[in-house]
Amino acid sequence: MKILENIIANKNLLFTDASSGATTPVGTLYRSLGLNPVEKGLIFLYNDNQLPSIEVLLNFYGTAHAIAVLGQKLHPEFKERLETEYRPKYIFDPSRDEVQGYSLKEFSETVKIFAKEDYQPEVTIHPDIKILLSTSGTTGVPKLVKLSDENLYQNAVSILQYMPILESDVVPLNVPINFVYGFSIFTTNCMRAGRIVCTDKDIMQKAFWDEMEEYGYSTLGGVPYLYENLNRIGFFRKDSASLRYMTHTGGVINAELRKTIFNYCLEFEKQFFAQYGQTEAGGRMAYLTTDGLLEEETSIGTPVHGGSFQIDPETDELLFLHSSISGGYANKLEDLSTYEQPKLLHTGDTGRRGQNGLYYITGRIKRIMKLFGIRLNLDEVEFILKNELEGNTVVCLNGNDKKIIVLYDNKEIDPQIIKEIIKNKLRINPQYVSTEYIESFPLSQNGKINYPLLQNLQHEKI
């Protein structure tokens, strides 16, 4: 239990409930439920980043249980599908009063957990499986990534080599811990920082900024869409005194916004870490420091300590090697009996290595379309448009290989300008470009733009 041992070793670490201000030291929190450390089984933890969720996570991490960390706001049908498939021993879900086949057991004044009635283990869960994280969002097949304590620890150690975490830092959990990025923020800061503030507010809510003022947050994290929204509300025009550094992952930030963030960091003495990672590698796989923001292209920087990249010579796919790579996927309960760690991870992204030693993402293998036989990377088209449109958010979709569909959410954008940019930059006739204003982009549970949903909606129109 290297992760938990290192968290406990940070003896001054405090956990604060943002809404009530109640604070508990780590030495009390991780063993508050009086669990049997050798008890084995599977627990579903529906997380909302509130203090009780964190308390359950830390307590169960210290036992032989495997923990599936899932989002509390998942659709009820998805929860039911997952529970039918995996039949967990325990379910922590404060949003429900009852779960069929389970009885509610009171572990403390604030923590109640559903326990399966007449539970009998059906499979022996592989002892290396510690954390299970979902990759399929709110719908689809209940596919879980199998992560070991060693995976998570090695990834955390790699991140701590470059992340400037101080023992005085106050860290908000504004990224849900049921996403690997949020989980990675949680573990690394628990190992080094001074206070973790448990909050279910996101940075587009006024309450979050009230909490930031009250507790003095040292850092913020988010996906590109979050930083695009921060730019829109004028965040980068003034100083936030307590803030020392920001982190991001989940996609490339466009060039205009990178310049804005760089200038903000320069003027107000902040740091920014652009990062690249996937759930299957325990979190963060590469990083770019503040100075790298001025790179002209979509650099993800260099691999984290202990990791390396290779480029598949035939497909240009980016391959990752590190001891943090997970032990595979689980689609059903029986899959939890095995843990098979591959030597390298196929990222599904295409990339290249520059002469400066930095790595660059050039697109997703599945985001390639053929327009009249011409191979077109929609990520590259999107990136060109964002740069030419001063960082505005746009989404490019495949119109059945017959046209490029461009969605935008800023009414002030002239759609003819979009067509002209594509014509001038890519030599594509405007008649093969379709534009559409959309009031707001649907987001997935992790705050990213929901591309599969948008693509499906467009297919229905075609």
pLDDT in tens, 129-162: 999 998 754 445 568 999 999 999 999 999 999 9
What pLDDT, on a 0 to 100 scale, did the predictor assign at position 140?
52
Share of residues in the chain with pLDDT > 90 (%): 71
**Mean pLDDT for the chain overall:** 91
Task: Give the angle subtended at the CA of 438 by the CAs of 232 and 275, to the nearest 5°.
Answer: 50
**pLDDT > 60? residue 361:** yes
**363: confidence class by pLDDT, cuts 50, 70, 90:** confident
**459: confidence class by pLDDT, cuts 50, 70, 90:** low
Task: Give the angle subtended at the CA of 188 by the CAs of 359 and 35, to the nearest 5°.
Answer: 140
User: 365-371 — which CB contacts under 8 Å span 24+ positions?
Assistant: 365/315, 365/317, 369/398, 369/401, 369/404, 370/401, 371/401, 371/402, 371/403, 371/404, 371/428, 371/432
d(CA 323, CA 307): 8
What pLDDT, on a 0 to 100 scale, did the predictor assign at position 138?
42
The distance in angstroms from the start CA to the end CA of the chain is: 52
| Residue-wise pLDDT tens digits, 292-315 | 998 877 789 999 999 999 999 887
CB neighbour list of residue 344: distance below 8 Å, 6 or more residues apart: 310, 319, 320, 321, 325
For residues 92-119, give the mean pLDDT: 96
